[in-house]
Amino acid sequence: MGTTVTLPLWLFLLVLLFAAVTFASHFLFPSVRWFFRRRAEKVIARLNERLARPIEPFKLARRYDMIQRLIYDPEVSQAIVDYAAEEGVPENVAFEKARRYAREIVPGFSATAYFTVGTRLARWLSRSLYRIRLGAFDRDALEDIDADAAVVFVMNHRSNMDYVLVTYLVSRASALSYAVGEWARVWPLSAVIRSMGAYFIRRKSRGALYRRVLARYVQLSTQGGVTQAMFPEGGLSVTGRVMEAKLGLLSYIVESWSPGGREVIFVPVALNYDRVLEDRFLIKADKTGVRRFRPPLGTVVRAVLGHLWQRVTFRFKGFGTASVGFGQPLRLSTFAGAGQSEEVTSAVAAELMDRIRAVVPVMPVPLVSRMILQGVTERGALKVAAQSAIDMFRSNGVTVPRRDARTVTQDALEILFQRGLVREEDGRILVEDGAEDVLAYYAASIAHHFKSGTRKVPNAVESDAAVRQ
């Protein structure tokens, strides 16, 4: 027992390393995890005291636990068996594929990251780039939403700023869980987005196994009361118009709902801008039919440096106004017994898109762009035409700029002049070569308000009564 054992230095250091790791994993790490978990619980408790819709336990579950729950869900298990049979592969291979899908989809929400970093950054970015205006907003209807209901904000998709702007405006009410496309699956952006509670989706995936894993995650989130936000158009609008809805995510929610279960309430949200940061890329995508919004690195660097130079030299005046309108909430139970799930989904989608269109705010640049394209080219005539349109919109309950028609016209022209889209010669406003497409893109965002029989924005009672009919 007293024999001396000689070890090489490298082996001795290796033994010490294993001992240190064992000590840390059994004594140190659990204590550290407990310490941070207690701090996180206190932070969440304070947040829930001030939030209108407290953060649901489902959203706070550990990511590992949520992945396990998802892949062992009975419906996912059946999808795994079906996939293995169809593809002729062992079930364990199909299971691992489902696990990869689950790891790809499930977020890792951090309340600290969301409310201390995310919302503050969203607030700063929104207010530094735009003048923020709240459009249609029925406070009573929104405050009367059942506290136990699962709320889903359904939005038109104009810009990637939509995520930032809505996160800022809703930050006092709840934490939103976004459905994010594949564009954000790049490190380290993906880790940041996961910590903000967003989940990734493959918009072009047609595999039954993937769709079932995604469907069950969305359904479990809804059943757990998680406040969600989605863009039913399925991508950025390349024309400026509010497009028709794609039924994927909506169908997952509709097919899993049953009378007597947790109520699902959709809140329509409409966004509009005096300037969309990606407008020229979107217009190009519409012309070419190629929906690729990855500008060359040199273009991005030049744009960022140019913007920073404008700020340093105090020449940056902002991108105009960004406005968000909230439509009347829509209860999913209103459609109970209305038909098969496909029919119900189509009806829900059509009603939601109508309610979104009804509350799209009228902005100065879209309004003046439309009138210039229609041949109104003198300042005085533009002011008169703008006043006439504003009066018509007000009578229909459409959100219009708070400023008078003269100021609206001047603000819009200043932005168009600054961007080099129009020029003034001999008292007339002329469109620069190649700028017609840009003006048309902005004019299209409010074109539906000018159509005969424009739907007047209803109140909550009128809305639900109309749906039941």
Residue 465's closest CA among 269, 263, 330? 330
pLDDT digit string (tens) for 168-191? 888 777 778 888 775 555 555 566
C-alpha neighbours within 13 Å on the C-beta side of residue 333: 11
Q: Are 370 and 443 in contact (CB under 8 A)?
A: yes
Give me the amino acid identity at 453: G
Residue in the block written with tokens 């018509």: 392
Q: Angle, to 10 degrees, between the axis of helix 341-358 and the axis of helix 248-256?
A: 120
Strands 264-273 and 330-331: what pairing? Answer: antiparallel
State whether 374 and 350 are in the same domain. Answer: no
How many Å apart are CA 408 and CA 365, to the nearest integer?
8
**What pLDDT, on the 0 to 100 scale, is given for residue 462?**
38
Task: Write down the pLDDT at residue 437.
Answer: 95
* DSSP state string for 430-462: EEPTT-HHHHHHHHHTTGGGGSTTPPPPP-HHH
What's the token pair of residue 232? 């039913």
279 contact partners, CB below 8 Å, separation of at least 6: 438, 441, 442
Residues 239, 377 within the same domain = no
- CATH assignment of the domain containing 131: 3.40.1130.10
DSSP letter assigned to residue 56? P
Instruction: Count CA within 13 A, CB hemisphere, residue 357.
Output: 23
Is 232 a domain residue?
A: yes
Regarding whether 371 and 346 lie in a shared domain, the answer is no
Locus of tokens 């929610």: 253
Type of residue found at 66: M
* 31 assigned to some structural domain: no
Measured CA to CA, the distance from residue 266 to residue 356 in angstroms comes to 11
Q: Are residues 372 and 347 in the same domain?
A: no
Residue 128 corresponds to which tokens in the numbers above? 């530094």
Token readout for 358 is 């009804």
Strand partners, 153: 229, 267
The domain boundary residue, chosen from 359, 388, 409: 359
Residue 134 falls inside a structural domain = yes
Question: Is residue 7 domain-resident?
Answer: no
Cα 204 to Cα 201, 207, 279, 295: the distances in Å are 9, 9, 23, 21
Indicate whether 208 belongs to any domain: yes
Kindly state whether residues 327 and 395 are assigned to the same domain.
no
pLDDT digits (tens, 9 = 90+) for 53-89: 777 777 777 888 899 999 999 999 999 999 999 999 9
CA 265/CA 419 separation, integer angstroms:
41
Q: Both 165 and 235 in a single domain?
A: yes
Residue with tokens 């701090």: 39
The number of residues making up the chain comes to 469
Amino acid in position 335: F
CATH number at residue 432: 1.10.10
Cα–Cα distance between 379 and 311 in angstroms, integer? 30
Residues 350 and 399 in one domain: no
In this prediction, the residues of the chain whose per-residue pLDDT falls under 50 are 34, 36, 453-469
Identify whether residues 131 and 264 lie together within a single domain.
Answer: yes
344 with 329, same domain?
yes
Final residue before a domain boundary, out of 297, 327, 359: 359
pTM, 2 dp: 0.82
Distance separating alpha carbons of residues 353 and 244, to the nearest angstrom: 7
pLDDT given for residue 467 in this prediction:
37
User: Does residue 49 lie within any of the structural domains?
Assistant: no
Tell which phi-psi region holds residue 314, choosing left (phi > 0), alpha (psi between -120 and 50) or beta: left
Is 327 found in the same domain as 422?
Answer: no
Claim to verify: residue 435 and residue 334 sit in the same structural domain: no
Are 235 and 285 spatial neighbours (Cβ–Cβ below 8 Å)? no
Structural domain tally of the chain? 2
**For residue 384, what is the enclosing H or E element?**
helix 379-395
Report the pLDDT value the prediction gives residue 455, as an integer from 0 to 100.
47
Q: Which residues contact 403 (CB under 8 A, 6 or more apart)?
A: 411
Look at residues 310, 205, 307, 308 and name the one whose alpha carbon lies nearest to residue 248: 205
Residue 238: the pLDDT is: 92
353 within domain boundaries? yes
Q: 201-240 in b/e burial notation, b at 16+ Cβ within 10 A?
A: bbeeeeeebbbbbbbbbbbbbbbebbbbbbbbbbbbbbeb
Are residues 200 and 222 both part of a single domain? Answer: yes
Per-residue tokens: 283: 């217009």
Residue 397 is part of which domain span? Answer: 364-444
